[in-house]
C-alpha cells in the first residue's frame, strides 16, 4: 500500500486537465492542496499497524492485503469495519474523508457487472475484476462520477434539449466507445487517480445510449475538469489541523472522449440503469452511516469547546442539546450496523448492506445537519462571525485588548480561548460550513431521495395486512415474511469467539 508521499508523488506526474478560476492548472495548484491533504490521511491510516483490519482488508480477488477503500465487502463484518474506518478518518480530518465514493462505486460495479453478464453473456465482470486487481495492487484512489447535470428535471435523458445534460455513448467501435456530456458535483476528482463513471438514474429503452459505465484516468486529456475548490483561511500564527483540510468538486466535461473497451463496464444495457444507480447510492448511504456521525462528532466537539469557553457547559439547555447530537449520531451509526447484519450476499460474492436500514440512517442525518449547526450557534453565540481577524490579535496596538477580552472562562488561557473561537468560526461560519451544510443535505442523495427509496422498497403491505387483520377484515395474519428474516451470516452470534481473526 502506498504511503502519503507516494500518493503525492503520483499526483505530480499527472497531465494537467484542471481549470480553476479561469486558468488551466496542474495538481500542484495550492487551491486543491487542502483536498489532497485529506486524501493523504487515508493512506497514512492504512500504514498504521493499529488500524490493520480496520483500514485494511484481504482482497476477495487477489487474496492480498489491500487498502479497505479498494476492497469489495464480503460479509457483515466488512461493512461494520468500513463504518469504523470512515468515522475514524472523518474525525481525523474534521469531516468528509472523500474516499468512500470510489469504494461505493467499486461495490456497485462488482455486483452489477456480474448481473449484466449473467443475463447477457457479456464480459463486463472480467474487465472490471482485471481493472480492480490493478487498482488494488497500485493502491489507487478513485472518484465516482455519478451525478449528471440533469437539465430539465421533468424530462428523461433522451428528452433533453441538450443531450449532454446526461453523459452518453456517441459511438461504439471495436476498440472502445466515444462518450459526451457533463457530470457535476464530483467530489475529489481533481486529485483522484481514476474516475469511475456510472449512470445516475433509471432508464427506459429510448435512453439506452445514456446507460453507460466506465473507468477513466482522472488526468485523461480527453476530459476537462472545471474545479470548484473550497478551503479555509490560512492561519498566520495559530495553525491547526482543521485548517489544512478542504475539498474540491469538479464539473467533468466529456466531448467525444474515447474509452478503450477494457475499461467499459456497461454500454446500453438500459434495464440495469436503475440497479447500478441504486447499488452505488445504497452503498454510499451505508457509508454515510459512518461519516455523518463523525461530522456530528466534530460539530458536537465544537459545541463542547464553545460551551466550555462560555463556562455554560453544565447549564440544563446546553446539556439537552448535547444529547441531541448523540441521539442523531448513534441512531445513524446503528442503522449502519443493522444494514450490515441484515445485508445480503450477491451473486458476485460482494456483500451488500440492507437498503432500508441504509436509507433511514442517511435520511436522518440529511434532515439533521442544519439543526446541528443551529445548536452549535445557539450555544456559541455570535463571536464566530464577529471576532476580529487573526492579524488583530498580532497587531501590538490591539493585541493586549484582544488577549485580555477573549478570555471568558478564566480557566482557559488567551491562546486556548482564541483557538477555540477560531475553531468554532471554522466549523460554523466558513466556506467549509456552507459546503458541509449543502453536502450534508445532498451528498449521497438528499432526504427526498431516501423518501422515494423507502416508498419503493419498504414493505407497506405487511403493515396494511396487520391493520386489516386487527380491523377484522382479514381472518388470518401472516407475519413471517419480515419477522422470520435472518441475518445470512454468523450463527456464532451465539458463541463467544474473539473477533477479527477468522
Site for a copy of itself in 95-134 (CB under 8 A): none
Which residues between 64 and 83 bind a copy of itself (CB under 8 A)? Answer: 74-78, 80
**Among 438, 444, 445, 481, interactor with a copy of itself by CB under 8 A:** 438
Which residue's CB is nearer to a copy of itself, number 258 or number 458? 458
Taking the complex as a whole, how short is the minimal distance between the CB of residue 103 and a copy of itself, in angstroms? 18
Angle, helices 100-120/273-309, rounded to nearest 10 degrees: 160
Span of 135-143, 197-205, 212-220, 491-499 interacting with a copy of itself by CB under 8 A: 491-499
389 binds a copy of itself (CB under 8 A): yes
Enumerate the β-bridge partners of residue 249.
187, 228
**Residue 362 sits in the site that holds a copy of itself (CB under 8 A):** no
Does position 241 interact with a copy of itself (CB under 8 A)? The reply is yes
Query: Considering only CA atoms, which of 456, 463, 467, 455 is closest in space to residue 481?
Result: 463
Angle at 438 between CA 435 and CA 444, to 5 degrees: 105
Among residue numbers 247 through 276, which ones bind a copy of itself (CB under 8 A)? 249, 251, 253, 255
Classify each residue of 256-268 as buried b or exposed e, where b means 16 or more C-beta atoms within 10 Å of its C-beta.
ebbbeebbbbbbb
Minimum distance from residue 193 beta carbon to a copy of itself (Å): 21
The correct pick among 238, 274, 346, 414 for binding a copy of itself (CB under 8 A) is 238
485 is written with which cell numbers? 428474516
- Indicate whether 446 belongs to the interface with a copy of itself (CB under 8 A): yes
- Three-state SS string over 358-369 comes to HHHHHHHHHHHH
Give the one residue of 302, 350, 352, 445 binding a copy of itself; rule: CB under 8 A: 302
Burial class (CB in 10 A: 0-12, 13-18, 19+), 276: buried
Asked if 312 touches a copy of itself (CB under 8 A), the answer is: yes
Residue 224 or 263: which CB sits closer to a copy of itself?
224
233 lines the binding site for a copy of itself (CB under 8 A)? no
- Does residue 327 bind a copy of itself (CB under 8 A)? yes
**Total binding residues for a copy of itself by CB under 8 A?**
175
| CB-nearer residue toward a copy of itself: 21 or 30 | 21
- Kindly state whether residue 30 participates in binding a copy of itself, applying the rule CB under 8 A: no
Q: Are strands 194-197 and 142-145 parallel, antiparallel or unpaired?
A: parallel
**Burial class, 151, CB count within 10 angstroms (exposed 0-12 / middle 13-18 / buried 19+):** middle
Part in contact with a copy of itself (CB under 8 A); list of ranges 98-106, 190-198, 267-275, 458-466? 458-466
Question: In this complex, which beta carbon is closest to a copy of itself, that of residue 94 or of residue 102?
Answer: 94
Among 273, 361, 444, 445, binds a copy of itself (CB under 8 A): 361
User: Any alpha helices (H) in 381-430, and if so which ranges?
Assistant: 383-386, 399-405, 414-428
Which range, of 8-16, 36-44, 59-67, 448-456, touches a copy of itself by CB under 8 A? 448-456
Q: How far apart are CA 411 and CA 448, in angstroms?
A: 46
- Residue 377 to residue 183: CA distance in whole angstroms: 35
Residue corresponding to grid cell 448513534: 330
Q: Rule CB under 8 A: is residue 344 a binding residue for a copy of itself?
A: no
Minimum distance from CB of 267 to a copy of itself (Å)? 23
Contact status: 345 vs a copy of itself (CB under 8 A): yes
Q: Nearest distance from residue 214's CB to a copy of itself, in Å? A: 20
472 binds a copy of itself (CB under 8 A): yes
- Computed from CA positions of residues 408, 411, 414, 418, in that sequence, does the dihedral angle turn out positive or negative? negative
| Using rule CB under 8 A, residue 63 touches a copy of itself | no
Query: Which residues in 157-186 contact a copy of itself (CB under 8 A)?
Result: 161-162, 164-165, 182, 184-185
Nearer to a copy of itself, 173 or 316 (CB): 316
Q: How far is CA 463 from CA 342, 417, 474, in A?
A: 20, 54, 13
> Is residue 386 within the footprint of a copy of itself (CB under 8 A)?
yes
Among 199, 270, 387, 445, binds a copy of itself (CB under 8 A): 387
Residue 407 interacting with a copy of itself (CB under 8 A): yes
CA quadruple 444, 450, 454, 456: dihedral positive or negative? negative
Cα dihedral 282→87→4→17 (10° resolution): 40
From the list 129-137, 198-206, 275-283, 418-426, the region that binds a copy of itself by CB under 8 A is: 418-426
Instruction: For a copy of itself, give the closer residue by CB, 64 or 371.
Output: 371
CA 472 to chain centre: 47
Instruction: Confirm if 128 and 95 have CB atoms less than 8 A apart.
Output: no
CA distance 68 to 345: 18
How large is the C-alpha radius of gyration of the chain?
24
Query: Half-sphere exposure of 7 toward its Cβ, with a 13 Å CA cutoff?
Result: 25
Amino acid at each position: 500500500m502506498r504511503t502519503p508521499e507516494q500518493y503525492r508523488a503520483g499526483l505530480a506526474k499527472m497531465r494537467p486537465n484542471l481549470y480553476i478560476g479561469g486558468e488551466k492548472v496542474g495538481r500542484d495548484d495550492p487551491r486543491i492542496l487542502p483536498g489532497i491533504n485529506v486524501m493523504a490521511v487515508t493512506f497514512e491510516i492504512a500504514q498504521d499497524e493499529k488500524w490493520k483490519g480496520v483500514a485494511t482488508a484481504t482482497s476477495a480477488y487477489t487474496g492480498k492485503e489491500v487498502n479497505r477503500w479498494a476492497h469489495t465487502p464480503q460479509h457483515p463484518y466488512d461493512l461494520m469495519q468500513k463504518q469504523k474506518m470512515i468515522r475514524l478518518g472523518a474525525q481525523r480530518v474534521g469531516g468528509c474523508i472523500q474516499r468512500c465514493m470510489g469504494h461505493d462505486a467499486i461495490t456497485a460495479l462488482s455486483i452489477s457487472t456480474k448481473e449484466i453478464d449473467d443475463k447477457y453473456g457479456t464480459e463486463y465482470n472480467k474487465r472490471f475484476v482485471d481493472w480492480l486487481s490493478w487498482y488494488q495492487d497500485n493502491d489507487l484512489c478513485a472518484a465516482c462520477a455519478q451525478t449528471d447535470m440533469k437539465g430539465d428535471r421533468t424530462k428523461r435523458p433522451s428528452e433533453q434539449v441538450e443531450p449532454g445534460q446526461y453523459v452518453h455513448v456517441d459511438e461504439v467501435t471495436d476498440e472502445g466507445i466515444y462518450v459526451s456530456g457533463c457530470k457535476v458535483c464530483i467530489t475529489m476528482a481533481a486529485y483522484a487517480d481514476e474516475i469511475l463513471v456510472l449512470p445516475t438514474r433509471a432508464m427506459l429503452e429510448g435512453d439506452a445510449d445514456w446507460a453507460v459505465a466506465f473507468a477513466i484516468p482522472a488526468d485523461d486529456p480527453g476530459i476537462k475538469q472545471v474545479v470548484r475548490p473550497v478551503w479555509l483561511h490560512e492561519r498566520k500564527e495559530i495553525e491547526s489541523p482543521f485548517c489544512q483540510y478542504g475539498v474540491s468538486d469538479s464539473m467533468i466535461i466529456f466531448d467525444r472522449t474515447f474509452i478503450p473497451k477494457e475499461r467499459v463496464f456497461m454500454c446500453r444495457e438500459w434495464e440495469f440503469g436503475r440497479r447500478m444507480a441504486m447499488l452505488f447510492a445504497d452503498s454510499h448511504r451505508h457509508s454515510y452511516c459512518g461519516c455523518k456521525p463523525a461530522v456530528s462528532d466534530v460539530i458536537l466537539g465544537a459545541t463542547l469547546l464553545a460551551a466550555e469557553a462560555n463556562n455554560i457547559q453544565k447549564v440544563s439547555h446546553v446539556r439537552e442539546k448535547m444529547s441531541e447530537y448523540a441521539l442523531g449520531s448513534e441512531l445513524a451509526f446503528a442503522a449502519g450496523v443493522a444494514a450490515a447484519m441484515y445485508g445480503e450476499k450477491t451473486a458476485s460474492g460482494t456483500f451488500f448492506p440492507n437498503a432500508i436500514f441504509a436509507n433511514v440512517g442517511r435520511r436522518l442525518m440529511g434532515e439533521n445537519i442544519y439543526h446541528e449547526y443551529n445548536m452549535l450557534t445557539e450555544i456559541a453565540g455570535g463571536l464566530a462571525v464577529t471576532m476580529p481577524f487573526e492579524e488583530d490579535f498580532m497587531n501590538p496596538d490591539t493585541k493586549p485588548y484582544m488577549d485580555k477580552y477573549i478570555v471568558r472562562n478564566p480557566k482557559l488561557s488567551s491562546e486556548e480561548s482564541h483557538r477555540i473561537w477560531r475553531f468554532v468560526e471554522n466549523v460554523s461560519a466558513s466556506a467549509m460550513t456552507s459546503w458541509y451544510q449543502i453536502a450534508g443535505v445532498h451528498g449521497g442523495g438528499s432526504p427526498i431521495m431516501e423518501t422515494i427509496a423507502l416508498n419503493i422498497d419498504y414493505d407497506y403491505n405487511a403493515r396494511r395486512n396487520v391493520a386489516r387483520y386487527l380491523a377484522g377484515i382479514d381472518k388470518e395474519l401472516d407475519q413471517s415474511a419480515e419477522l422470520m428474516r435472518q441475518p445470512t451470516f454468523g450463527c456464532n452470534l451465539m458463541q463467544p469467539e474473539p473477533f477479527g481473526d477468522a
